[in-house]
Chain A
Amino acid sequence: MKFSSLSLLLVVACVGFAPLAQADDAMIEEGRQIAFDRKKGNCLSCHSIAGGEVPGTISVPLIAMQARFPDKEVLRQNVWDQTQFRPHAMMPPFGKHQILTEEEIDKIVEFIHTL
């Protein structure tokens, strides 16, 4: 009884996750576009990012993001408002000041976390 409900759960989980995995790729691509859009994330004005042209030199290159942010949520909080961790941080508070929507931030974080 116990075993069969566990298998059922697994089946549900697999069926449930398959479309989600596909959505992630699309989400990452959307996140990339938002990140590179001058009127949205405009991340390249300060950060160099693989695949992005003429980056600025204001801040650190966005590399090894999973090593730097094992917890994706912490990365998201930094994009949302970095001054909560470093009062003098220069990066615009993309969430707090509604520069991007919460949904756009989710997408951008998915993209940045792949770098």
Chain B
Amino acid sequence: MISRKVLAWSASLLLAGLAANAGAESLDADVSPKKDLEAIQKFFTEKFPEIAWEDFANGTYALNEAWYENWLLIEEFPPYEIAIANGEEMWNTPFANGKSYADCFGEPGVQHHYPRWDKEQGQVVTLALAINQCREANGEEPLKYKKGPIVDILAYMAYESRGQIINVVVPEDEPGALEAYKKGREFYFTRRGQLNFACAHCHFSMAGRTLRTEPLSPALGQATGWPVYRSKWGAIGTLHRRYTGCNKQVRAKPFEAQGEEYRNLEYFHTHMSNGLPLNGPAARK
């Protein structure tokens, strides 16, 4: 009972320390991605001392033996396999102008270079955005961002990137990058929607507990496995589709997939998992 109290207390301290809400502008001025990373990873590794570091990449399945066993059964016949195959075909099929994805990316296994701050564009570039920029530069129509072919090409590239280590960089000499990181961080800790939840409410202090029977995953490791086959969707979808769903669940109006808000969120959200291996595409409930 005491340890639970202490946990709740330390969680609220962490939230208080990290929350960039109104009236906390002096805190906001001191935001350091490096300090955040230490604080967040310390929080989760201390909260779940029994979990091996790499296993944080497996989300809630790392927290409970029964959930883990069920997940292994699903992984025996991976429901995302067809997406990988479709994506490989897309990768190998030249655009109308004779060029291909390889001309933009070199090789498919580059997910660990995203999301990244692009100095020339002055914005966070995610892998999905880079795919569409590649297509448009070669005279192809951009793909829709939540489901469909974008998921196939992402699945193939994620598969080829498996085992690479997440290393999101917020360059210190780029004020725009820090600004984007701060916006993503503020998004994460800001209450929204009629139900008044911040992302952090469920995925920091409450991680591992259940909402009815549904376990809440720790924020650390949420960014490793995208795109994800979700049983609830009966399909494979993108990280921004998931963000949309999260916002709807708290009865907030979702933002546009690959709009600035979600790209900045992805920047902060992925940064906190620095050091974890990529393991997409993945299957989640």
Using a CB–CB cutoff of 8 Å, the interface residues on chain A facing chain B are 44-46, 54-58, 83, 88, 90, 92-93, 97-99
Q: How far, in angstroms, from A55 to B211 measured CA to CA in the complex?
A: 8
Stretch of B155-163, B194-202, B270-278 on the interface side: B194-202
Nearest-neighbour CB distance to chain B for A38, whole angstroms, equals 9
Task: Tell me the complex Cα distance, A45–B210, Å.
Answer: 8
Q: How far is the CA of A58 from the CA of B206 in the complex (A)?
A: 7
Across-interface contacts of A83 in B (CB, < 8 A): 196
B281 CB to closest chain A CB (Å) equals: 29
Chain B residue nearest to A97 (CB atoms) is B194
Docked-complex contact A97 and B212, CB < 8 angstroms? no
Alpha-carbon gap, A83 to B191, bound state (A): 12
Verify B212–A92 contact, CB threshold 8 A.
no
A38: nearest residue on chain B (CB-CB)?
Answer: B212
CB distance A92 to B196 under 8 Å?
yes
Q: Is the CB of A92 within 8 A of B195?
A: yes
Which are the 8 A-B pairs with shortest beta-carbon distances? A92-B195, A57-B209, A88-B12, A56-B211, A97-B194, A56-B212, A57-B210, A90-B201
Q: A97-B194, A99-B194 are in contact. Are A90 and B206 (CB under 8 A)?
A: yes
By beta carbon, the residue of chain B nearest A81 is B196
Is B16 located at the chain interface by the 8 A CB criterion? Answer: yes
CB-CB under 8 A from A58, the residues of chain B are 206, 209-211, 216
Residue on B nearest A83 in the bound complex, by CB: B196
A59 to B33 CA separation, bound complex (whole angstroms) = 31
A27 to B37, CA, bound (A): 50
**Residues 140-170 of B contacting A (Cβ, < 8 Å):** none
Q: List 18 A-B residue pairs with CB atoms under 8 Å apart, sorted by A's residue number.
A: A44-B212, A45-B211, A54-B212, A56-B209, A56-B210, A57-B209, A58-B210, A58-B211, A88-B12, A88-B15, A90-B197, A90-B201, A92-B194, A92-B197, A97-B194, A97-B195, A98-B194, A99-B195
